[in-house]
Structure 1
């Protein structure tokens, strides 16, 4: 056998190791672009945005990135990336339960979807936190005892105890006992008139003055007239 026919051990070992590394990297999960195609409870189903690959990647149902305290209203067509974990995620996502060990998962078996910003999104004030959803925004405590619901056509606030709005020295309070509006100045307006606490106090004081000084008679000319027998203080008796 000629020297050219003999196997070059060094060259073939290099090729063997290279193939093994390639196979291992193919098995490892990858960060890939994806698009939401459906929402299933707290999980979402995505398709992968790839072309010119020699195989077809299936759609997968996976967790959405984020804590339970903020729920993103993901819609069909929303885009982002999938991030692979190094171990099984069913124990933390609830998809399958159990506890992870150090066994590497299949390359599409431990993915999480992470939204990515887009140049076509609505413009917002970059210095403010902005929250909006296709149907509005809900703010509530974990027990849903107090809720704030903003919809395209309304705002609803429900609370079991007290609703209070304060601006400087003025305060509006609503509770089971009724409501109160306090402040040094303000106006109450309807379709016919506008008034204020100061104007109402001035008018009430004038009415008290008139009641306590008004002279009345029996309607006969020359008859005796007189003032009220008792003074009206303006106090309110419950």
Structure 2
């Protein structure tokens, strides 16, 4: 009896197709839970959180699902999942070169990392977006010409001009430091009257309308002898 008679051709073909499918499944990308073990910018190395079931799950270095405009401060220990597409991500992530094609791709090449939420996270206002990092946050333009940096106990704003527009602007709770010239833009003013409630200590001279508070002269008219009281004129500007 021939081998063909012992093992029918159709059954052999079916076995070959099944074996090929199983082999392809073994090398295809897997969507699995994992945690971060190393961070390099927005490229992470993850360890799969899977029980040992006869399959080897090596650590893998993969890109994060994000944009250049929003870069989450991913930390070692952060939990998430790997997601897989059908072709290699090496070219678009910079971890390799070339353009993807439909050739068979090894299981680690089409993976990327995405964080996943956890019930142990801090409770925040569900109607507000929450942005923070372990040491703060940075909001900036691409060229860094304007930026806001939030750090523990300090907020730094940097720009050519900072505008605060509101009906009332309150600065309170501490000492106000004004380390530069203070001007009023007449064209922008709806009212040029400023009111202060003292006490106020001024270390150096104050000049108002060309008149020095410290060194201004007074014209005196109708001088009389003896103990007479003479009222002087208003102070005049000094040259």
Give the Cα–Cα distance (whole angstroms) in 1 for the partners of residues 238 and 26 of structure 2. Answer: 86
Taking the aligned partners of 1:145 and 1:84, their CA distance within structure 2 comes to 38
Classify the secondary structure of the residue corresponding to 1:156: strand
1:122 corresponding residue in structure 2: 122
Aligned to 1:42: 42
1:144-159 matches, within 5 Å, as: 144-159=144-159
Counterpart residue number, 1:167 = 166
C-alpha distance in 2 between matches for 1:124 and 1:237: 62
Change (3 A) 1:103 1:120: same
The answer to which structure, 1 or 2, has the higher relative contact order (CA under 8 A, 6+ apart) is: 2
Deviations 1:64-119 (A, max 9, x none): 11000111100011011111222222221111232222323211112110111111
Query: Alignment RMSD, CA only?
Result: 3.7
Residues 47-75 of structure 1, C-alpha deviation per residue, up to 9 Å, x if partnerless?
Answer: 11111321322111111110001111000
Structure 2-normalised TM-score? 0.72
Output one character per residue of 1:134-159: Cα deviation in whole Å (capped at 9) or x when no partner.
Answer: 00011111111112111112111122
Whole-angstrom CA distance in 2 between matches of 1:106 and 1:237: 86
Unmatched 5+ residue regions in structure 1?
A: 195-211
- DSSP-derived class of the 2:165 partner: strand
Which residue does the alignment assign to 1:226? 230
Provide the secondary structure at the position in 1 that maps to 2:155.
strand
- List per-residue Cα deviations over 1:11-64 (Å, max 9, x = no partner): 444333222222222221111111100112331111111113213221111111
Residues 165, 171 of structure 1: 8 Å contact kept:
no
- Give the aligned partner of residue 138 of structure 1: 138
* CA distance in 1: counterparts of 2:98 and 2:179, whole angstroms: 47
What's 1:110 paired with? 110
- With over 3 angstroms needed to count, the CA separation of the structure-2 counterparts of 1:121 and 1:227, relative to structure 1, is same
The 1:140/1:175 distance shift into structure 2, 3 A limit, reads farther
What SS is found at the alignment partner of 2:17? helix
Unaligned runs of 5+ in 2: 172-177, 201-217
| Structure ranking higher in helix proportion | 1
